[in-house]
Structure 1
Amino acid sequence: MSPALALTAVAALVVLALLAGLMLRRREGRRRDGGGLRFDPADAQGVTLGTGATLVQFSTETCARCPQVRRLLGSYAAADADIIHIEVDLTHRPDLSTRYRVLQTPTTFVLDAAGIVRARFAGVPSRESLTQALAAV
């Protein structure tokens, strides 16, 4: 292989990796539709859902950003008695990642009182988007 061809191939791979990274970063923390999922409280050791909304955080033991999301969601639950924060550790329940289509941690679900997923966030949700999702519930 000629040096020019090798350099062109390396440059193309770098550009491709950069574009893929930018696309993934753009999706990070954005609100998406719940997709018609229904959360079963038995999956979180039978906790009860909130009367207004429930924030379900999927995390793992090795997740670096999960403590930040835990504090954010906990602050919403502490400020409003109708909001409950539940954390589900996928390290001990990997079957739930398939059932709820969780591809990364942290992932946050915003549930209504019936357990229907109204919004989902992959990564760290922005405060504004989370507030809007809760207002919609």
Structure 2
Amino acid sequence: MWHAGLVAQSPLTGVLVVVGVLALATAFGWWRRRRDGRLRVVAGTGPAAADETSAVLAAVGVRPGGVTLVQFSSAVCAPCRATRRILDDVTRDVDGVRLLEVDAEHHLDAVRALDVWRTPTVLVVDADGRVVRRASGVPVRAELVATIRPLLAGAAR
């Protein structure tokens, strides 16, 4: 029966809404899984932005020379512990690489300045103090080592 101002709904409408929401959630999960932990190249910025980034990195403890892996983490982050294990292995196995873990909750200015949206976020900083790669999520160890080796070779020259 039709009432004024009400639209009759078919039982199929609810099913279509559920199927649509599941399709969107599946697409988002697939997209996130493909990006999670992958090292992305950081686009070059102008000298002023590079100076600001260098100042922020220095404020959290990054020192020039060698390659530094900067991990932004938080106390309640389970993937942060897995990331720390991977980064510890890399720094132990590859000479010339330092690890710096930054508590995101205590360094909110750095989090904002470096555009960190989630933990863990890993920044690969070269010998000149530039962020050259970044990953959100647990990075892939082999990809990380493959990224670091050329940076170390360039720093040795």
Q: TM-score, normalised by structure 1?
A: 0.89
**Cα drift, residue 136 of structure 1:** 2.6
Comparing both structures, which one devotes a greater share of its residues to helix?
A: 2
AA at the equivalent of 1:132: A
- Which of the residues 88, 94, 102 maps onto 1:88? 102
- 5+ long unaligned stretches in structure 2: 1-8, 45-49, 152-157
- Which of the residues 110, 120, 130 maps onto 2:144? 130
Structure 1 CA distance for aligned equivalents of residues 126 and 58 of structure 2: 16
| SS of residue in 2 equivalent to 1:58 | strand
Residue range with higher mean Cα deviation, 8-17 or 33-42: 33-42
Structure 2 CA distance for aligned equivalents of residues 47 and 121 of structure 1: 18
AA at the equivalent of 1:76: V
Query: For residue 57 of structure 1, what is the aligned residue in structure 2?
Result: 71
| SS of residue in 2 equivalent to 1:91 | helix
Residue range with higher mean Cα deviation, 79-88 or 63-72: 79-88
Structure 2 CA distance for aligned equivalents of residues 136 and 117 of structure 1: 14
- Which string of whole-angstrom CA distances, capped at 9 and with x for unpartnered residues, describes residues 6-50 of structure 1? 111111111111111111111011110122364434331x4534x
Could you say which structure has the larger radius of gyration? Answer: 2
- Which of the residues 27, 30, 47 maps onto 2:38? 30
- 5+ long unaligned stretches in structure 1: none
Paired positions, count:
135
CA contact (8 A) 2:90 2:141 kept: no
Structure 2 CA distance for aligned equivalents of residues 59 and 52 of structure 1: 22
Query: For residue 48 of structure 1, what is the aligned residue in structure 2?
Result: 63
Structure 2 CA distance for aligned equivalents of residues 129 and 77 of structure 1: 14
Structure 2 CA distance for aligned equivalents of residues 70 and 55 of structure 1: 10
Structure 2 CA distance for aligned equivalents of residues 71 and 107 of structure 1: 14
| SS of residue in 1 equivalent to 2:23 | helix
**Cα drift, residue 81 of structure 1:** 4.1
Query: For residue 15 of structure 1, what is the aligned residue in structure 2?
Result: 23
Cα RMSD, aligned residues only = 1.7
Structure 1 CA distance for aligned equivalents of residues 12 and 62 of structure 2: 62
Answering whether residue 98 of structure 2 is matched by residue 111 of structure 1, we say: no
- Which of the residues 12, 20, 23 maps onto 1:4? 12
CA contact (8 A) 1:35 1:117 kept: no
AA at the equivalent of 1:9: V
| SS of residue in 2 equivalent to 1:135 | helix
Q: TM-score, normalised by structure 2?
A: 0.78
